[in-house]
Structure 1
Amino acid sequence: MLNPQWQEIIRQLAYPSFISNEKSEILAWNEAAAEILFDFDSLPALERLMLRLMFTDPSLRQRMVNWEEFARHSVAVFRTYYDKQHGEAFYKEFVERLCADSPDFKRIWELHDVEHKRVNRVYIRKSAEAVPNAYDIHSVASIAEHPDLHICVYTPVLNASQDIPENTAGG
C-alpha cells in the first residue's frame, strides 16, 4: 500500500508524474500524467502496467514519436528487475503474456539488453495530429521504506522542437 502522503505529493506536481514499482505497476499519478500519457483511472489497478501499455495501447504508441528507442530502454530496465527477481511468478507470467500479445516486445526482449534507469528523453503528442513535446524523464528511486518504488517526472524540454525525430513508432 502506498503512503497517501506520496499520492498527494504526486498530485500536486505540475509536470506529468507517477509512482511505479519494478513491475511497472502505476501506483499513483497526477492529472498531467493522465492527460499526456494515459487515463490510468480507466483501467483496473491490476492492469495499470506501464510496460504493457507501451506495447499494447495503439494510441500511446502512436503518440510516442521515438517509441522504438524508448521501448528498448524500458525493456532493458525491466530486464534488470526481472533478473533480480529470478523465479518470482509475476515476472515470468508477465513476460510470457506480453511476448504472446506483442511481437515487438518479444523481439526486444530477446535482445537480452540490460540497463539502469537514466534520464531519458521521450517525444509525445497529446493527440495523433499534435506537434510532439519533448520530455526528459527523471526517476527518483528509493522512496522511503520502499526501495522498489520510484517517482517518474516528465519534465518539459524547452526549445527541443528542432531535435524531434521522425516518428519511429511503427505499426
Structure 2
Amino acid sequence: MAASPNIALRDFLRSRRARLSPDSAGIESSPGTRRVAGLRREEVARLAGVSVDYYIRLERGRTASVSASVLDAVARALQLGELERDHLFALAHPARTCPARSSGQQVRPGLQLVLDSLTEVPALVLGRGLDVLAANPLARALYVDFDSLPPRSRNMARLVFLDPTVRELYTDWPGAARGIVASLHLEAGRHPQDPDLAALVGELSLQDPDFRRWWADHDVYRRTHGRKRYRHGLVGELELGYEAFSPADDPDKTLGISTVEPGSVSEQRLRLLAGWAHPLAVNPHAEP
C-alpha cells in the first residue's frame, strides 16, 4: 500500500514555485507564452539538478527517500531563505510523534521569576500554538486580562482573529495577523502531529476568511524582534519594540518583552498604563 502524500510539503513547494518569476531565476521567457504563475516544475528541476520525474514526485509529496542534498538543491533553486529552508526540511521529514502539551506547557519557576521582575514594560510567555502561558500586569493591561479568560481562549491567535477588542488594538492589524498565521505555519511544520494545533488552524480557517486566505500563502515567520503600533483605549497610540527569546532547553516557549524608546510619548503613555495596572507601585502611600 502506497504511503499517503505529504500534503503540507506539496502545498509549500507549489507556493514557493508560484512566487518565483523566470527573470528572478535567470530563465529567459518569451512574453505571453506562460500559462502558470512563477516557474514550471521542469524549470525548478533543471535549476536543482534533478530529473523532472523526481521533482514531480517530490512536489506531489512523495518524500520517503529524499536526501538532504536534494532538499538543499531545491531550496537554492527556489531561492528559499534560511527559515524557509529549515521549514522545507521539517516538512520533508516530519516528526513521527508529538510531545503532549499537558506536560510541556508549564512555565518553570525560574522563567516565572524573570517575567515577574519585568514591571515597566509588557511581557508574556507564549507556548506552542501561541498559547499565553503567563503575562505580567502591564501585558494584561495592554492586551486583555488573560487570567479572566477561559483557558482555551488564552491564545494569541484566537484573540487576534476572533476578539474584536484585541483586533482593534493593532494599528496595522493585517501585518500583525499575517505574522500570527506565518508563525503557526512554522509550528505546524515542526509539530505535524499536534492535534491541538490542527484544531486551532481548522477553527480559525472556518471562522475568518483572512486567516483562510493567508494560510494558503504558506509563509513562515519566527518571532525575534521588531516594532508594533497599538491604539489603546485608555492611553491612546503606542509604538513599542519587542524582543523574543526561547529558553535553550525549551524552544516551544517564547518570552516576549516589549521595549519603548526613552523619553518618547509612548514611554509617557506606557507609564500611565502601568499606573493603571499598578496603582500602589506608582504611589506606595496610597490606601489599598
Query: How would you bin the TM-score normalised by the shorter chain?
Result: 0.7 to 0.9
Dislocated runs of 4+, deviation >3 Å: 157-161
Would the alpha carbon gap of residues 157 and 68 (structure 1) be closer, same or farther in structure 2, given more than 3 Å must change? farther
- For 2:113, the equivalent position in structure 1 comes to 8
Match of 1:49 among 146, 152, 155: 155
2: distance between equivalents of 1:160 and 1:81?
Answer: 36
Aligned length: 159
- For 2:216, the equivalent position in structure 1 comes to 110
Would the alpha carbon gap of residues 83 and 144 (structure 1) be closer, same or farther in structure 2, given more than 3 Å must change? closer
Give the fraction of aligned pairs with identical amino acids, expressed as a percent. 28
More deviation, 59-68/39-48:
39-48
Contact 1:7–1:29 (8 Å) recurs in 2: no
Amino acid at match of 1:152: G
Greater Rg by CA: 2
How far off its partner does 1:41 sit? 1.1
Aligned-pair Cα RMSD in Å: 1.9
Equivalent positions of 1:1-171 (< 5 A) are: 1-13=106-118, 14-127=120-233, 130-141=235-246, 143-157=247-261, 159=264
Point out where structure 1 has 5 or more consecutive residues left out of the alignment.
162-171
Higher strand share: 1
1: distance between equivalents of 2:265 and 2:137?
Answer: 23
Per-residue CA deviations over 1:108-162 (Å, capped at 9, x if unaligned) read 21211112223121111221x7531011121011x2532211100111245588x
Structure 2 length as normaliser, TM-score?
0.52
Q: Indicate the structure whose relative CO is greater, using CA pairs within 8 Å and at least 6 residues apart.
A: 1
Per-residue CA deviations over 1:58-89 (Å, capped at 9, x if unaligned) read 01111210111111122112211111111221
| Secondary structure, aligned partner of 1:132 | strand
Higher helix share: 2
Point out where structure 2 has 5 or more consecutive residues left out of the alignment.
1-105, 267-288
How far off its partner does 1:95 sit? 0.4
